Chains A and B, each alone.
Chain A
Amino acid sequence: MTSTFKRCLLAATLGVSIPALMATAGIAQEGSTIIVAQGVDAYSMDPAKHSNFPTANILFQLYDGLVTQDENGEIVPALATEWSNPDELTWRFKLRQGVKFHNGEDFNAEAVKASFDRALNPDFKAPYFSRISHIKAVEVVDEYTVDFKTEKPFPTMLLSLYEASFPALIVPPKYAAENDGASIAAKPIGTGPYKFVEWLKDEHVVLEANPDYWGGKPAIEKVVFRPIAETRTRIAELTSGGVDIVVDVPPEDMASLDGGDTKIVTVSSDSLYFLSFDTTRDTPLKDKRVRQAINHAIDVDAIQQALLNGMGTRTALTLPTNGFAYDSSWQPYEYSPEKAKALLAEAGYPDGFEIPFISRKGRYMKDAEIVEATAGFLSKVGIKANIQYLEAGVWGQISEQKGREGIAFPGWSGRDPQLVWAPLLTTGQYQSYYSNPELDELLQAGASTIDTEARKEIYKRLRTCQ
């Protein structure tokens, strides 16, 4: 094989981006209420004070960011109507006019500045601080124009401002400061399509349509979120009519729920499943041919079919296929145990070897099952992968000490190479187990400009790095 990007990107073996999955029952049209069951309750109603997607699913209805994403994953206007870059270190946003918060406060440049000043204050302790920490200052240009200033070029600015960066949601400045923030954490006020009605902890959150929403009044009058942790109970609620939408349906239940009164809806996500190889220690994984052999040894399609019910999109590299830098001409490794064995023999391991294989269990959908199936495929070419499951906290500790030896199944989420490849592959980054000066240079170049076309070219050039 010629030198390809895949070799640089050690983490490419199980490139599957996993979709979010939900089942819906027939939703009533008029006078409508929908009840949504998620695994856990909200942790806070303050968007900058949590780090949890089920909470975010509720808060996205209440608050808006400056930008949002459409169903194709494109970043589109929300509270900002347009944006430009007067220079590499400035992002200028024109704001939507005539928008009011649910309590009547005006949405304007001051509100944007105050929202970011609040979340960027270290004493505020925003868990997702790092998503916005590149923003050095937010300056008011006029009532409906703001400038975001950065110290270095910040190519992922728009991804950092859309709602999945939790502290980027805009809060009403006066209300958010009330009672030291306790008011907004209990009774949220935003500009979003729904207004807050009630939060009974661990029971439900009730929202009602905001008739004055800038995007038009929502079609569904009332939305209720209920936390139901046990999957079987969630499904029982759906089939018995207690709730209308349930999330996180296990793949094995998809068939039985897709038909009759219920249907399955999948949406592609930024979740990435892959293996990462430690090339910093003296193990067979240091040899590129061994890493290629592992790629050839695993039947990813079979795993996807058998364990994920065919869900997910197989990717050649660790990026969602809708990411701007993803090139659809990239091909994943073909499944070929023969090639794997040949490569192993060439590398001097005709009888295989033993290697640790670490993962967490229950952190990602079907993670343990996938890890076990992978080890099964590896054993067929003689590689004995010793699986060890780690507690989440232990995983964190080991990671910080750069102690992920052998093969790891880390799981990731991100759409931009800067959010995926830079932390995983740059020399010296704490989650990187690889070093290649050429790759480092290109990743650095990709991080140093906000010109999307230029960045695309840079990431394309990564393919040829040796």
Chain B
Amino acid sequence: MANFLISRLLYTVLVLFGVSVAVFFLIRIGGDPSALFLPPEASLEEIERFRALMGFDRTLVVQYFDFLGRAVQGDFGMSLRYNQPAMQLVLDRMPATLQLGGAALLLSLIISLPLAIIAAAKRDSIFDRASLLISIIGQSFPAFWLAIMLILLFSENLRLLPPSGRGTWAHLVMPAIVLATYSTAIITRLLRSSMIEALSSDYVRTARGKGVRESTIILSHALRNAAIPTLTVIGLQVGALLGGAVITEEVFAYPGVGRLAIQAIANRDFTVVQAFVLLMAALIVMINLLVDLSYGFLDPRLRKRK
């Protein structure tokens, strides 16, 4: 177990290093942002003066190691736009994103778990058809379109929900629905097929033969076995809900990290983009680690192997 953790930790460091290289150089391919900060009539000398002040005149490799050297000490630099520490800007907006991501995850689990279990247990029933429909629709609706449609219906026509902002539970409803749609679809589909596979396996037939109650077979025998692939996908979805809420946050003017990130990208606010991407990478690696560890609790065979 200890070896496993140590190797995973090393792996995490390696991943973060790779991510830091990728984000640092990729965002700079789009060009130097100096001119974007100055008035249109600024002269070349003024642009160069600003560039030197910001340190953009050094070679990229030098800039990268400067950035890396500070980043390992927790200093991600100052935001070029906000003149505040970049990581602080990202962390300030994390609670809002966690709240929205949490609500969306809860919503998608409340819908997808029972739906998938019932669909698998009663194959070809109306539930099964409904689960299929939800999966297809949920995976094919673009978040952007769905968000605008919800705003048109619930805000402009019915006047039930506020179209944007944060503060009350009502502000969470539409963005959570939009975010949950894709996760619900993918979790439902996967859990249903895993359950069907589990229910047609030998141990289930044996259990049925022994006269174990059907509900016990489904919830205890089959579900536990179907849980491993589902958990992997849920783990990936958590990452997607946190880092991938960009469009949803933008449309609903929700003050989370996704919105900060999209604006930072548009503004070439390099330091903020770097802080955001690295924090998200770290979170996703951690979630994956937790998911991996949870396999051991679900499947005793894996525990022994480690």
A interface residues with partner B (beta carbon < 8 Å): 40, 43-44, 46, 49-52, 122, 125, 127-131, 133, 185, 200-204, 226-230, 232-234, 236-237, 239-242, 391-397, 399-400, 410-414, 419-420, 422-423, 429-430
Contact = CB atoms under 8 A, between A and B. Distances in A.
Given A233-B253, A430-B44, A400 B163 contact: no
A232 B151 contact: yes
Contacts of A200: 255
Contacts of A412: 40
Nearest to B247: A230
Q: What are the nearest 7 A-B pairs in CB distance?
A: A393-B31, A202-B255, A396-B35, A228-B253, A430-B44, A236-B163, A393-B30
Nearest to B257: A202
A130 B268 contact: no
A21 B49 CA distance: 35
B163 A127 contact: no
A176 to B, nearest CB: 14
B261 to A, nearest CB: 12
Interface in B22-57: 30-44, 46-47, 49-50, 53-54
A399 B42 CA distance: 12
A44 B164 CA distance: 23
A130 B53 CA distance: 14
B155 interface: yes
A44 B82 contact: yes
B229 interface: no
Nearest to A362: B266
A249 to B, nearest CB: 15
A410 B252 CA distance: 32
A131 B49 CA distance: 14
B236 interface: no
Contact of B165 (A203, A420, A422): A203
Given A46-B83, A414-B41, A419-B41, 10 more contacts: A44-B82, A50-B81, A128-B38, A129-B46, A226-B165, A230-B251, A236-B164, A237-B155, A391-B31, A392-B268
Contacts of B50: 125, 127, 129
B156 interface: yes
A201 B41 contact: no
Contacts of B36: 392-393, 396
A251 B10 CA distance: 55
Nearest to B47: A400
Given A43-B81, A43-B82, A44-B82, A237 B34 contact: no
Contacts of A202: 93, 253, 255-256, 259-260
A201 B166 CA distance: 11
B262 to A, nearest CB: 8
A76 B251 CA distance: 40
A228 B249 CA distance: 10
A106 B69 CA distance: 45
Contacts of A393: 30-33, 36, 268
18 contacts: A43-B81, A43-B82, A44-B83, A122-B53, A125-B50, A130-B39, A202-B259, A202-B260, A228-B164, A232-B151, A236-B152, A391-B30, A392-B33, A393-B31, A397-B32, A420-B41, A423-B40, A423-B41
A205 B89 CA distance: 16
Nearest to A46: B83
B75 interface: no
B159 interface: yes
Contact of B156 (A185, A234, A239, A395): A239
Contacts of A233: 151, 163-164, 251-253
B263 interface: yes
B31 A392 contact: yes
A40 B32 contact: no
A229 B250 contact: yes
A396 B165 contact: no
A397 B48 CA distance: 12
Given A51-B37, A203-B166, A230-B251, A400 B43 contact: no
Nearest to B41: A423
B163 A237 contact: yes
Contact of B53 (A44, A46, A125, A400): A125
